[in-house]
Amino acid sequence: MKKVIVTAFEPFDKAEVNPSYEAAKQLPKRIGEADIELIRLPVVFGEAASILEKRIDEIRPDAIIMLGVAGTRTKITPEVIAVNIDDARIPDNQGNSPKFEKIDSVGADGIFSTIPVAKMVENMTKEGIPSELSYSAGAYVCNDLFYRIMNHLKAKTLDISAGFIHVPNPAESDAETKSELGIDEIAKGIQICVETVLKEV
């Protein structure tokens, strides 16, 4: 049986919920021939990655799909690359606020996702779910997690497909910028992404 870790974040910046987690909760425990393990991570620089790294080393999953919310976007956006920078617009949930700091002083400037991001967009689009590739995961905790995990896999030479997907605020939210997609449709998009990954691992 294959194993896939899906991560999503707790609420932050005074929000009551985080759409990434609300959507991910709707994923079935099994998709195809894979068991799905959902992990809710804190919005804290470094700590989110430490928690996930520990679980990766414990179970050695076949794939890792990390999720977060991008409040200024209206589509589901698989990320192409993680960049080696932390630059907090607002403090994280423990008050940390790094400003233009390298995540790893000797690490690569960028590390590409190893999940089939273009195919994900193609498959979601076929199902009528608005999606597009993103070439910037930002410089907040989402990118921090993404970079640290890709760096961890690279350092340990682990052959595990991994990447990050940003989701928008759902239509039913009271956010200023939101998607036409309801939370159920965002969940469907995530499931399509998981299914797309499973065809390649």
Q: Give the domain CATH number at 28.
A: 3.40.630.20
The single residue of 142, 152, 185, 193 carrying the catalytic annotation is 142
pLDDT exceeds cutoff 90 at 174: no
| Percent share of the chain, pLDDT over 90 | 95
The single residue of 22, 47, 152, 166 carrying the catalytic annotation is 166
Tens digits of residue pLDDT in 42-77 = 999 999 999 999 999 999 999 999 999 999 999 999
Domain count, the chain: 1
* Residue 142 falls in the annotated catalytic set: yes
More confident: 144 or 178? 144
* Residue 193 falls in the annotated catalytic set: no
CA distance 20 to 186: 9
pLDDT average, residue stretch 12-22:
96
Tens digits of residue pLDDT in 94-118 = 999 999 999 999 999 999 999 999 9
Which SS3 state, helix, strand or coil, does residue 143 take? Answer: helix
Element holding 37 (H helix, E strand)? strand 34-41
pLDDT average, residue stretch 69-90:
98
Exposed/middle/buried for residue 33 (C-beta within 10 Å: 0-12, 13-18, 19+): exposed
CA distance 126 to 178: 21
Full domain range(s) for residue 60: 2-198
